[in-house]
Amino acid sequence: MKILVANRGEIAVRIIRACREMGIASVAVYSDCDRDARHVREADQAIHIGASPAAQSYLRIDRIIEAATHSGADAVHPGYGFLAENATFAAACRDAGLTFIGPSPESITLMGSKTAAREAAIKAGVPVVPGNEKPFASDATDQEIVASAAAIGYPLLVKAVAGGGGKGMRTVEKPQDLLAAIQTARSEAGSAFGDSAVYLERRIHKPRHIEIQLLGDHHGTVIPFVERECSIQRRHQKVVEESPSIAVDPDLRRRIAAAAAAVARSVGYHNAGTIEFLLDRDGSFYFLEMNTRLQVEHPVTEMVTSLDLVQWQIRIARGERLDLDPDRALTPHGHAIECRIYAEDPDLGFMPSPGLIRGLRPAAGPGIRDDGGVGVGYTVPVFYDSMIAKLIAWGATRGESVARMRRALAEYQVLGIKTTIPFFLWLIEQPEYGTGEYDTTYLDGLLATRRESFSELDEREEDVAAMAAALDAYLRASTAAAGQNGSKGSGVWKQAARAEALRG
């Protein structure tokens, strides 16, 4: 078997690792700016598929299919993002005689529509957030919309049928804001997804985001896993995930997992998928949506179950039976947390901070897993999502995994670019994070008024930093002085050091 990995970055590296462990050959694809990327170097083969912008490379179905055929691959793993939830791509793989490691194109289409997915959940007897069962027609009258909203009740959310990542979503607190919100959501959804259909849903007050990982094989078996808690979100994007959730007891776990499995079975779902729920404060839960792919946060599930989800995806795609013990999937062993490390400057509003990685020392040691996608000497490009690694900590208890994460974050060195590591070190010290008393609105509320740096050092640490900066300049000046006779200069650093020496 040979698998083409239709992705880049950490998830491509993650999939290549699974292939290697299984004795399967791997093929990477890459764009112009990714020639020296880690996934290219670690794969058995690598095929160039176009220019740096994703639309000219990682989103080019024709080029990826051609690369698969040309390289002799017989299967394609889409990772997440890019083409992972693109039914046309899944169908193109099938048509080219390639095994798509994921669900069927039909499942992707069905569950990719938020209203069709809601309908499927309702049919499977799973509660959904009260709301419209169908999107509004494009010529729906204002009266129809107003009446529909009144029936659902305020506050409510206007959501795009094709939405994701908070796009095309608006909160409406009062009836008089409804029509304007519908209009903006429609135009945003139209430009972002090419589909301006919207519907209404009641807004649950301060919910938690709980999701259930599933695997389904081609023989009718669906196995749900212990939940993941993903309530720490910044502008609807998950930032920290953990498993199990502090808010879910074994009884609730069984009920949510059974609901998730019922939805997946009702649509004949196979391979890996995740069903997202909102958990209300009173313990009731509502189907939110299904992600028909491997999720970014899959490692926390792997850490608490000791199962390899990517390897299972490959086995299922090969037609193997999902013969693992359902209790093992549903019973967490210990606790795991994941922090998504982005090349972003948290002190400048999380602005992307692409650039050259001058040094990299990932955290290691007991209970730590680093799913990295970059290396020293690599320039983080401006063209893609800026996540460079996922840091995962496991502990016997939540307290232990938090302590390990704190230790590992302080250990993790990324030099040359700004990352979100200082932000995580700050977040992990927040009292609500420590107690687990948070919901999906928590982080945005906390960040809304915050203007201080996440890297503030205390006076003694600033002293150390100042002495280090001075010693660095001193040592470079001494080296430069020693090297002035004979040895060749080493560029900017040396010139700067000489200037320092003269001034000193």
Partner 1 sequence: MTFEIEIGGRTRAVAIEKSASGTYRVALDGRPHELDAARVGIYGLSLLDRQTGASREVQVTPAAVPGELLITLGGRVVAATVNGRRTGRAAADGGAGAHGEQAVAAPMPGRVVRVLVSPGDEVAVRQPVVVVEAMKMENELRSPKAGRVKAISVAPGMSVEAGRILVVIE
| Residues assigned a catalytic role | 293
Q: 25-31 and 2-5: which strand pairing?
A: parallel
461: how many CB neighbours lie within 10 A of its CB? 11
Task: Put the strands of the sheet holding 45-50 in their side by side order.
Answer: 45-50, 25-31, 2-5, 75-77, 99-100
Q: How far is the CB of 54 from partner 1 (least distance, A)?
A: 8
102: how many CB neighbours lie within 10 A of its CB? 28
Angle between helix axes 105-112 and 87-95 (nearest 10 degrees) is: 170
In the list 127, 326, 352, 375, the residue contacting partner 1 (rule: CB under 8 A) is 352
Residue 359 binds partner 1, judged by CB under 8 A: yes
Complex with partner 1: residue 166 or 326, whichever CB lies closer: 166
Residue 370 binds partner 1, judged by CB under 8 A: no
Structure tokens at 449: 């008024």
Residue 482 binds partner 1, judged by CB under 8 A: no
DSSP type of residue 132: -
In the list 140, 150, 179, 348, the residue contacting partner 1 (rule: CB under 8 A) is 348
Complex with partner 1: residue 19 or 477, whichever CB lies closer: 477
Q: Which segment (33-41, 42-50, 435-443, 453-461) binds partner 1 by CB under 8 A?
A: 453-461
Residue 61 binds partner 1, judged by CB under 8 A: no
Rounded to whole angstroms, the Cα distance separating 5 from 27 reads 6
In the list 23, 194, 349, 431, the residue contacting partner 1 (rule: CB under 8 A) is 349
Complex with partner 1: residue 174 or 460, whichever CB lies closer: 460
Residue 437 binds partner 1, judged by CB under 8 A: no
- For residues 149-177, one letter each, b for 16 or more C-beta atoms within 10 angstroms of the residue's C-beta and e for the rest, the string is beebeeebbbbbbbbbeebbbbebeeeee
Per-residue string for binding with partner 1, 271-310, x by CB under 8 A?
----------------------------------------
Residue 336: left if φ>0, alpha if ψ -120 to 50, beta else—which one?
beta
Residue 396 binds partner 1, judged by CB under 8 A: no
Residue 403 binds partner 1, judged by CB under 8 A: no
Residue 469 binds partner 1, judged by CB under 8 A: yes
Rounded to whole angstroms, the Cα distance separating 207 from 382 reads 34
Q: How far is the CB of 161 from partner 1 (least distance, A)?
A: 16
DSSP type of residue 91: H
Q: How far is the CB of 12 from partner 1 (least distance, A)?
A: 17
Residue 501 binds partner 1, judged by CB under 8 A: yes
Q: E strand or H helix at 252, and its extent?
A: helix 250-266
Residue 451 binds partner 1, judged by CB under 8 A: yes
Complex with partner 1: residue 45 or 455, whichever CB lies closer: 455
Residue 208 binds partner 1, judged by CB under 8 A: no
Residue 429 binds partner 1, judged by CB under 8 A: no
In the list 51, 91, 192, 446, the residue contacting partner 1 (rule: CB under 8 A) is 192
Could you tell me which residues come within 8 angstroms of residue 177 by beta carbon, excluding any fewer than 6 positions away?
Answer: none
- For residues 53-75, one letter each, b for 16 or more C-beta atoms within 10 angstroms of the residue's C-beta and e for the rest, the string is ebeebbbbbebbbebbeebebbb
353: how many CB neighbours lie within 10 A of its CB? 19
Complex with partner 1: residue 150 or 471, whichever CB lies closer: 471
Burial class (CB in 10 A: 0-12, 13-18, 19+), 316: buried
Per-residue string for binding with partner 1, 146-175, x by CB under 8 A?
-------------------x-x--------
In the list 95, 249, 325, 462, the residue contacting partner 1 (rule: CB under 8 A) is 462
Residue 180 binds partner 1, judged by CB under 8 A: no
| Residues pairing with 47 in the sheet | 29
Q: How far is the CB of 273 from partner 1 (least distance, A)?
A: 21
In the list 412, 433, 438, 442, the residue contacting partner 1 (rule: CB under 8 A) is 412
Residue 454 binds partner 1, judged by CB under 8 A: yes
Residue 456 binds partner 1, judged by CB under 8 A: yes
In the list 354, 375, 436, 483, the residue contacting partner 1 (rule: CB under 8 A) is 354
Rounded to whole angstroms, the Cα distance separating 62 from 58 reads 10
Structure tokens at 310: 């990517």
Rounded to whole angstroms, the Cα distance separating 288 from 291 reads 10
Q: E strand or H helix at 301, and its extent?
A: helix 298-305
Q: Which segment (8-16, 138-146, 240-248, 450-458) binds partner 1 by CB under 8 A?
A: 450-458
Q: Which residues bind partner 1 (CB under 8 A)?
A: 53-54, 165, 167, 192, 235, 237, 345, 347-355, 358-359, 382-385, 409-413, 415-416, 418, 421-422, 425, 451, 453-457, 461-475, 477, 492-493, 500-501, 503-504
